[in-house]
């Protein structure tokens, strides 16, 4: 019985900015340690591929999280 289980710590992917477990390939962009390990784009259709490439390009250009610009601000 594990009484002291901790929540996993996440790191930020340097390529796309998504949360990733340490020492794992990013499921969003397929990069690990600055090189492409999995070609994620080949599995996507044309429309999804274009959207994903734009998100990654915007993140590299501005350093803005891709999911942050699409969501509306939360108000209480």
Q: Is the pTM of this model over 0.85?
A: no
Host domain of residue 21 = 11-64
Q: Is residue 37, in this structure, part of any structural domain at all?
A: yes
- The answer to the question of residue 40 being in a domain is yes
Residue 46: the pLDDT is 85
Q: What is the pLDDT of residue 68?
A: 45
Tell me what pLDDT residue 65 has: 53
Say if CB 58 and CB 67 are below 8 A apart. no
Q: Which helix (H) or strand (E) holds 10?
A: none
- Cα 12 to Cα 21, 44, 46, distances in angstroms: 9, 23, 27
Tell me whether residue 71 is in a domain.
Answer: no
Q: What is the mean pLDDT of each run of 10 residues along the chain (76 residues)?
A: 80 87 88 86 84 84 56 47
Instruction: Write down the pLDDT at residue 5.
Output: 81
Query: Does 20 fall in a domain?
Result: yes
């Amino acid at each position: 019985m594990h009484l002291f289980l901790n929540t996993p710590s996440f790191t930020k992917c340097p390529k796309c900015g998504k949360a990733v477990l340490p020492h794992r390939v990013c499921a969003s962009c397929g990069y690990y340690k600055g090189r492409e390990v999995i070609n994620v784009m080949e599995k996507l259709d044309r429309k999804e591929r274009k959207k994903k490439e734009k998100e990654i390009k915007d993140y590299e250009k501005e350093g803005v999280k891709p999911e942050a610009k699409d969501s509306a601000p939360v108000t209480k």
